[in-house]
Amino acid sequence: METTWADRLRAAGLRVTRPRLSVLDVLAEHPHADADAIVTGARELHPSLSPQAVYGVLKALVATGLARRIEPAGAPALFELRVGDNHHHLVCRSCGAVADVDCAVGAVACLTPSDTAGFVVDEAEVVFWGLCRDCRAVAPAEAAQVPEQDNRGGVRA
């Protein structure tokens, strides 16, 4: 990695602090971590780190575009460092695992709703819901009737 996290923080007009580097480190290792996981992970590098500090750091990172916040329905917010590359997400209904997926073929069509109802659209967010490989393996029978999580609606395949 040529540009260090410290460089990127400075470039974004943020001071380089230990909590911020710790959080960035955790995010680099766990690309879709929630605030709690980040606190736990970052404490290995900076034991005195408080949850509020993490929230503050994440807010700063998101505000400056270094990180992105994603909020899957029914789960705490997740944070990721992949920004500006137009990717979407696969979310497992069972375990909540998240995987990145590059813009699908035909994605451009997604950006042009048939009727914008007067809205000026600046972003299209796509979330694919399903079961990850592990959860399929663990509970293939329950796959048809996902427990506690049906009827989120939307486009059915």
Partner DNA sequence: CCGTTTTCTTGATTCAGTCAAATCAAGGAC
Partner DNA sequence: GTCCTTGATTTGACTGAATCAAGAAAACGG
Tell me which residues touch its own copies (CB under 8 A).
Answer: 62-63, 65, 68-71, 73-74, 77, 83-84, 86, 88, 90, 92, 99-133, 136, 143, 150-157
Find tokens 């690309």 and name the residue: 31
The annotation status of 92 as a binding-site residue, yes or no, is yes
> Max alpha carbon distance in the chain (Å)?
52
Instruction: Return the range that interacts with DNA (CB under 7 A); candidates 56-64, 88-96, 127-135, 138-146.
Output: 56-64
Strands 33-34 and 88-92, by their bridges, are unpaired
Q: Which two tokens stand for residue 49?
A: 């780190």
Q: Give the long-range contacts of residues 47-51, CB within 8 A, separation 24 or more.
A: 49/19, 49/22
- The answer to the question of residue 36 lying near DNA (CB under 7 A) is yes
Give the one entry of DNA, its own copies, none that residue 62 binds, where binding means its C-beta sits below a cut-off of 5 to 8 angstroms depending on kind. its own copies
Supply the DSSP symbol for 1: -
Residues that bind DNA (CB under 7 A): 10, 14-20, 34-36, 46, 48-53, 55-57, 59-60, 71, 76-77
